[in-house]
Amino acid sequence: VQVAIKGALVDAKINLIPVRRGYWGNKIGSVHTVPSKVTGKCGSVRVRLVPAPRGTGIVGAPCSKKILQFAGIDDCYTSSMGCTRTVENFCKATYDALTHTYGYLSPDFWISP
pLDDT per residue as tens digits for the range 23-55:
998 888 899 999 999 999 999 999 999 999 999
So what's the pLDDT on residue 67?
96
Q: Is 63 exposed, middle or buried (0-12, 13-18, 19+ CB in 10 A)?
A: middle
So what's the pLDDT on residue 25?
86
Does the pTM surpass 0.75? The reply is yes
**Does the pLDDT at position 74 exceed 90?**
yes
d(C-alpha 93, C-alpha 72), whole Å: 17
**Does the pLDDT at position 113 exceed 80?**
no
DSSP code at position 83: -
Beta bridge partners of 81: 46
Q: Is 31 exposed, middle or buried (0-12, 13-18, 19+ CB in 10 A)?
A: middle
User: What is the pLDDT averaged over residues 59-71?
Assistant: 96
